[in-house]
Structure 1
Amino acid sequence: MIGMVLAAGAGRRLRPYTDTLPKALVPVDGETAILDIALANLAEVGLTDVVIVVGYRAEAVEARKADLEARYGVTITLVHNDKAEEWNNAYSMWLAREHFAKGVLMVNGDTVHPVSVEKTLLAARGKADIVLAVDDVKKLADEEMKVILDADGHVERITKLMDPADAAGEYIGATLLEPAAGEKLADALKATFEADPDQYYEDGYQELVRRGFKIGVAPIGDVAWVEVDNHDDLAKAREIAVTY
């Protein structure tokens, strides 16, 4: 199993930082960026081969690649998304299909969370071939990527477009993918972005569920984390990143 980070996004709501940097390289603790935390977490759980999907301002990640490898003891492979500023991340994830076919622990490049999330996902191996990290403690609103579970505790629905009161929790942008899921996921992602290139990779998960695939969840407990979409989120990230 390897690590994977989706870091192709532009993060326009974080300007002026993202005038010259991808969202994943926005600093959250001194010179420590979101990507630094992701790599440190993956390395701590022994996932030292890491694939990073880059797109917007990819040259900034390329320039830091050697330093990141030395700092965290990882080997980084970059996958380039040529449509990062045009299409959503279903396509971005699909581009890494040959890598997630090996089995990956994948994290979004805009999520600041402690290493306990990675540990929780790895402890859930065997629960299903795809397991999503879910916050079932946080009070939900309209913007979150929410999940509804079936009677057996598998994902029935994953979307932002649901009543928060109906949701079992929020998917936090971290997934465990076993090799057995690789080909089926790649096919579902392809169908998803071909139907609408503006769709999320989570819509690919929903397509898998529609096809009868069982996706499990791993509750992360009451931990401090944040998806960094705007300057308010960034302020929260800077408060919690120093506590990890």
Structure 2
Amino acid sequence: MIGLVLAAGAGRRLRPYTDTLPKALVPVGPEGNEDSLTVLDLTLGNFAEIGLTEVAVIVGYRKEAVYERREALEAKYGLKITLIDNDKAEEWNNAYSLWCGRDAIKHSVILANGDTVHPVSVEKTLLAARGDGKKIILALDTVKSLADEEMKVVVGPEGGMTKITKLMDPAEATGEYIGVTLIEGEAADELADALKTVFETDPQQFYEHGYQELVNRGFRIDVAPIGDVKWVEIDNHEDLAKGREIACQY
């Protein structure tokens, strides 16, 4: 198993940081310390803590910044890092970005969005849920109060995901997908095909629509509740402030 990080996004709502950096390299340490930890640092640290030795990072917007830091990150976290270029990072949404990592997924992966600050307990929860024929397991927050922006998930009576979308009445949702997934290698080809269907239909689709496409085809996607843990998806400066508060607690 390897780690996989989606780090191709521009994060325009985080300017001026993202004038020169991809969102995954925006500092989440103390404000004013521009050399502090980034979301990518935190994620790589989590991967190293659970014993992974290889990570693939999908890069696009300002990818040169990741290339420049790769050697130092490898040394810091004891990981072999492979960078995968997304040639449409500034044009298309992340369904295509994850599709770019389709070969990496064949090794079995823990996928983490490059803008999610979360504790290593999330990865440990996914690993504990592994087995029993499960092919894809979503990390699910069933504690947080939901609003319109969250990626909401409905879990059916048999325990599998039935729906994933932002466009849902929060009251109907079981919880929020936090942007971390365990994907077994045997699901790689089917997931890649679903993602391709999604981005060829609409290049602006999220990769979560690929999950929905799989479920619509009869594929089972499982979930693993993460419990009452602090995490945040960093989309704007308010989120960044929350991310800094959370990151210093790990």
Please, what TM-score do these two structures have when normalized by structure 2?
Answer: 0.97
Partner Cα separation in structure 1 for residue 129 and residue 185 of structure 2 = 15
Q: Does 1:141 align with 2:147?
A: yes
Partner Cα separation in structure 2 for residue 54 and residue 76 of structure 1 = 12
* The one of 38, 53, 56 aligned to 1:51: 56
Q: State the SS of the aligned residue for 1:142.
A: coil
Q: How many residues align?
A: 244
Letter in 1 for 2:22: P
Q: Does 1:221 align with 2:223?
A: no
Q: Does 1:27 align with 2:27?
A: yes
Letter in 2 for 1:232: E
* The one of 226, 234, 248 aligned to 1:242: 248
Residue aligning to 2:14 = 14
Q: Does 1:41 align with 2:46?
A: yes
State the Cα RMSD in Å. 0.6
Letter in 1 for 2:79: V
Residue aligning to 1:152 = 158
Per-residue deviation, residues 135-161 of structure 1 (Å, max 9, x unmatched): 000000000000001110100000000
Q: State the SS of the aligned residue for 1:83.
A: coil
| Aligned-pair CA distance for 1:125 | 0.4
Residue aligning to 1:64 = 69
Q: State the SS of the aligned residue for 2:67.
A: helix
Letter in 2 for 1:169: G
Letter in 1 for 2:20: T
Q: State the SS of the aligned residue for 2:147.
A: coil
1:69-218 equivalence runs, <5 A: 69-127=74-132, 128-218=134-224
Per-residue deviation, residues 108-159 of structure 1 (Å, max 9, x unmatched): 0000000000000011101520000000000000000000011101000000
Partner Cα separation in structure 2 for residue 48 and residue 166 of structure 1 = 39
Partner Cα separation in structure 2 for residue 230 and residue 24 of structure 1 = 13
| Aligned-pair CA distance for 1:179 | 1.1
| Aligned-pair CA distance for 1:101 | 1.2
Per-residue deviation, residues 216-240 of structure 1 (Å, max 9, x unmatched): 0000000000000000000000001
Q: State the SS of the aligned residue for 1:32.
A: coil
The ranges of structure 1 where at least 4 consecutive aligned residues each deviate by more than 3 angstroms after the TM superposition are: none
Letter in 2 for 1:226: V
Partner Cα separation in structure 2 for residue 131 and residue 232 of structure 1 = 29
Partner Cα separation in structure 1 for residue 4 and residue 181 of structure 2 = 10
Please, what TM-score do these two structures have when normalized by structure 1?
Answer: 0.99
The percent of aligned pairs where both chains have the same amino acid is 68
Partner Cα separation in structure 2 for residue 10 and residue 140 of structure 1 = 25
| Aligned-pair CA distance for 1:180 | 1.2
Letter in 1 for 2:42: I
Partner Cα separation in structure 2 for residue 13 and residue 154 of structure 1 = 34
